[in-house]
Amino acid sequence: MRLPPLHRGTLIRRYKRFLADVRLQDGTEVIAHCPNPGSMKTCWEPGWEVLMTHHTDKKRKLKWTFEVAFDGQDHPILVNTARPNRIVEEAIVAGTIPSLSGYPDLRREVRYGREKSRIDLLLEGAKGRCFVEVKSVTMADTGAGAMFPDSVTARGTRHLRELMAQKAAGDRAVLFFLLSRGGRTHLRPADEIDTVYGETLRQAIAAGVEVIAHRAIFSGGLVDYTITCGEAVPVRT
């Protein structure tokens, strides 16, 4: 995925979940939309460098969108949770995720399950149906690992149960974690934050749900900044 042209700034604070104060390089302070409903634990600190997109639509109240932050070790973190699904989709279509190849048809946001959830990506073909739920992982542990979730997520647990049901019905069910943060070598469930989710994840694996994780690759400059889906990393449960 190639992002629109980006602008550098310095993060002052993130607040009210969807707002961030940022100082531009010329010293101007702006309020940016922060498109991330999670806690963003370990993902922001005052003084961190950030990248933002600027929007000229007169109907928009906030003209800036917080896209990427850089941690204290200069590792990029994709903050905008609207991006990961499309990054994974582009990789599937391009055939760069071998485990999800061989499905010529792809649909987004398809209703399924008893609770009428929406699956992020539904792949179909001669091989059958493959339900793919995408999760963006941004939280770091104290080592080199990434953790999910960053807050208690009843919705995420429900998605796991829906995937188990689809697997039991004869479909393929995949939970795809995109490590949207540089410098991470593996993924683990954040049991210390949401014990129920961690336990349900292990139940899902035992039931045949495939859990895979790939790291995001960040490249380019302000006018050609690109985020793609890179190599697989271990999932430690």
Greatest Cα pair distance in the chain: 58
Q: What is the DSSP letter of 204?
A: H
Among 3.30.930.10, 3.90.1640.30, 3.40.1350.60, 1.10.132.20, name the CATH number for the domain at 84-233. 3.40.1350.60
Q: How confident is the model at residue 212 (pLDDT cuts 50, 70, 90)?
A: very high
Q: Hey, where are the domains in the chain? A: 6-78, 84-233
Q: Which residues pair with 106 in a beta bridge?
A: 123
Q: Would 6-78 and 84-233 be classified into the same CATH topology?
A: no
Distance, CA of 219 to CA of 109 (rounded, Å) = 28
CATH code of the region 6-78: 2.40.50.580
Query: Each residue of 154-210: pLDDT tens digit?
Result: 999 999 999 999 999 999 999 999 999 999 999 999 999 999 999 999 999 999 999
pLDDT at 78: 98
229 in Cβ contact with 96 (< 8 Å): yes
Distance, CA of 62 to CA of 163 (rounded, Å) = 37
pLDDT at 121: 98
pLDDT at 10: 98
- pTM to 2 decimals? 0.95
Average pLDDT over residues 14-21: 96
Query: Each residue of 74-124: pLDDT tens digit?
Result: 999 999 999 999 999 999 999 999 999 999 999 999 999 887 789 999 999
Distance, CA of 215 to CA of 225 (rounded, Å) = 16
Report residue 139 as tokens.
Answer: 């939280």
Distance, CA of 140 to CA of 157 (rounded, Å) = 21
